[in-house]
């Protein structure tokens, strides 16, 4: 008895020691620049290096690593480390958690206005007007203002955003169709798709990221709510847009049925590059694969068309695009000055190595021709230069979507029912408006 009592005391003591030892061991083992006291402000000891952490969603090898290496070579006193996060819900949660600590993230990229808004509300983004003068509107052009929050800039919109339709020029030529004009409509698109459709070739494919491009552009022009403050989700333009797409799926069969796209996990970019679709709604992110002729060989030229408006009468349509990749500084960072120095350098040309993946700098300090050349190096003959200039590098009246995620999700749930033939169009529009209305309230 006595012996076992003694033993139990020892065991308990050992375990407690292990637990406590574990904790302090953890803290002690973590000395590689994560703790504030090992990361002194430059003013204290100017000789010591400032270390910055830059968070972005682009895979490191697709440009950011080269950017950071170039900076580090030029600036021995400020070392930047790139940390990649995936731009989905958990990825953004990870970033926000790191931002809260103030030491694990100094600079970060925003890809959606709603996310930036949340970070500003949480006090995690520096108001850029408090830093040295950098005229965002002058440098980035009028589209930058879409990223203002309460009339202030909390980040630099560093790149041009693009959404458009990729065209297989060879198939267009075979069908005797010209590259469509910039102001084409969904009816035109429907006709194109019907004519381009063949056995095992879809007329039109849509990437998930671009599925709602026309819907968003329409309410960006009309306004998310009507004049009386009620939801505008039941507008007739949406109805027309939905009906055309529905007809393309079920009558013309020129685009995959929604259920097919949902359940086949269609690799739309691969299919387009293999010639299994004549048109593809997507964005500049396809350039990476399209330029990779080794893994995605294709012999046709690619032309471009703008996202179509719903009909000819629609006057206030806006195009998805504008600017993106908004670089913010963590308001809890201890190295804001160094971070600001890097941010300006990045926007004004430091980001060029990312051009090959389709990221064209928005700053006027960068010669965009240089960026375009970088992007198309070695594959110039694979693109129809005229439509490339008109569409990809054209000027459009653009917008940033500011509808909250809850509403986007509710809208998707409703239109899915329509495209799965579980709900008619009028009920769909009514429900979308109703659920939006509930959220506004």
Query: Could you say which of 45, 135, 265, 369 contacts another protein (CB under 8 A)?
Result: 265
Nearer to another protein, 123 or 236 (CB): 123
Q: Rounded CA gap, 157 and 145, in Å?
A: 9
> Considering the rule CB under 8 A, would residue 38 count as an interface residue with another protein?
no
Which residues are 56's β-sheet partners? 84
Q: Is 295 in the site for another protein (CB under 8 A)?
A: yes
Distance between CA atoms of residues 223 and 220, nearest Å:
5
Whole-number minimum distance, CB 168 to another protein, in Å? 16
At residue 282, the 3 state secondary structure works out as: strand
412: its two tokens: 């998707």
37 lines the binding site for another protein (CB under 8 A): no
Give the span between the Cα atoms of 166 and 388, in whole angstroms.
Answer: 10
Among 48, 77, 93, 142, binds another protein (CB under 8 A): 93
DSSP helix/strand/coil, 259: helix
Piece of 218-226, 270-278, 371-379, 380-388 that binds another protein (CB under 8 A) = 270-278
The count of residues interacting with another protein (CB under 8 A) is 86
Q: Shortest gap between Cβ of 86 and another protein (angstroms)?
A: 5
Binding mask 109-148 for another protein (x = CB under 8 A): ---------xx-xxxx------------------------
* Distance in Å, CB of 102 to another protein, minimum: 10
Residues 404-433 that bind another protein (CB under 8 A): 404-406, 409, 412-414, 416-417, 420, 422
Residues found in the chain: 441
Read out DSSP for 87-155? SSHHHHHHHHHHHHHSSS-SEEEE-SHHHHHHHHHTT-S--GGGSS---HHHHH-GGGGGG-BTTB-SS
Write the interaction track for another protein spanning residues 199-238; mark x where CB under 8 A is met and - where it is not.
--------x-x-----------------------------
The answer to whether 96 contacts another protein (rule: CB under 8 A) is yes
CA distance 248 to 243: 9
Range in contact with another protein (rule: CB under 8 A) among 96-104, 170-178, 181-189, 307-315: 96-104
Q: Which stretch binds another protein (CB under 8 A): 127-135, 161-169, 293-301, 390-398?
A: 293-301
Q: Is the CB of residue 433 less than 8 Å from the CB of residue 263? A: no
Nearer to another protein, 102 or 141 (CB): 102
For another protein, the closer CB: 64 or 217? 64
C-alpha torsion sign, points 65, 352, 330, 406: negative
**Rounded-to-integer distance, Cα 48 and Cα 168, Å:** 55
Q: Which of residues 145-174 bind another protein (CB under 8 A)?
A: none
Cα 209–Cα 210–Cα 216 angle in degrees, nearest 5: 110
Of residues 48 and 121, the one with the C-beta less far from another protein: 121
């Amino acid at each position: 008895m006595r012996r076992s009592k003694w033993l139990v005391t020892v065991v308990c003591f050992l375990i407690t020691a292990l637990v406590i030892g574990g904790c302090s061991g953890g803290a002690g083992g973590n000395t590689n620049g994560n703790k504030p006291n090992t990361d002194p402000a430059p003013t204290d000891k100017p000789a010591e290096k400032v270390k910055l952490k830059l968070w972005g969603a682009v895979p490191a090898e697709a440009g950011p690593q080269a950017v950071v290496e170039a900076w580090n070579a030029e600036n021995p006193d400020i070392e930047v480390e790139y940390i990649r996060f995936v731009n989905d819900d958990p990825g953004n949660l990870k970033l926000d958690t790191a931002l809260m600590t103030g030491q694990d993230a100094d600079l970060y990229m925003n890809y959606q206005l709603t996310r930036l808004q949340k970070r500003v509300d949480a006090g995690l983004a520096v108001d850029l007007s408090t830093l040295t003068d950098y005229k965002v509107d002058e440098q980035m052009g009028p589209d930058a203002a879409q990223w203002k929050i309460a009339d202030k800039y909390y980040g630099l919109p560093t790149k041009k955003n693009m959404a458009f339709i990729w065209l297989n020029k060879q198939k267009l030529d075979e069908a005797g169709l010209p590259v469509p004009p910039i102001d084409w409509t969904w009816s035109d698109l429907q006709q194109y798709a019907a004519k381009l459709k063949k056995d095992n070739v879809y007329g039109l494919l849509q990437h998930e990221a671009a599925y709602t491009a026309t819907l968003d552009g329409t309410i960006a022009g009309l306004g998310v709510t009507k004049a009386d403050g009620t939801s505008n989700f039941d507008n007739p333009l949406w109805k027309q847009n939905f009906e055309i797409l529905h007809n393309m799926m079920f009558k013309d069969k020129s685009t995959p049925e929604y259920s097919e796209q949902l359940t086949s996990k269609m690799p739309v970019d691969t299919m387009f590059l293999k010639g299994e679709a004549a048109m593809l709604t997507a964005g500049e992110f396809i350039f990476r694969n399209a330029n990779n002729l080794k893994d995605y060989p294709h012999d046709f030229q690619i032309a471009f068309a703008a996202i179509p408006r719903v009909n000819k009468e629609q006057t206030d349509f806006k195009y998805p695009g504008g600017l993106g990749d908004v670089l913010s500084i963590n308001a809890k960072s201890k190295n804001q000055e160094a971070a600001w120095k890097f941010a300006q350098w990045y926007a004004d040309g430091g980001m060029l190595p990312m051009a090959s993946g389709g990221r064209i700098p928005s700053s006027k300090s960068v010669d965009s021709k240089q960026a375009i050349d970088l992007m198309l190096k070695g594959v110039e003959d694979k693109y129809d230069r005229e439509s490339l200039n008109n569409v990809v590098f054209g000027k459009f009246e653009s917008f940033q979507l500011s509808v909250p995620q809850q509403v986007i999700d509710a809208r998707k749930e409703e239109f899915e029912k329509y495209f799965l033939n579980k709900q008619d169009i009028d009920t769909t529009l009514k429900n979308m408006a109703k659920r939006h209305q509930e959220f506004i309230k």
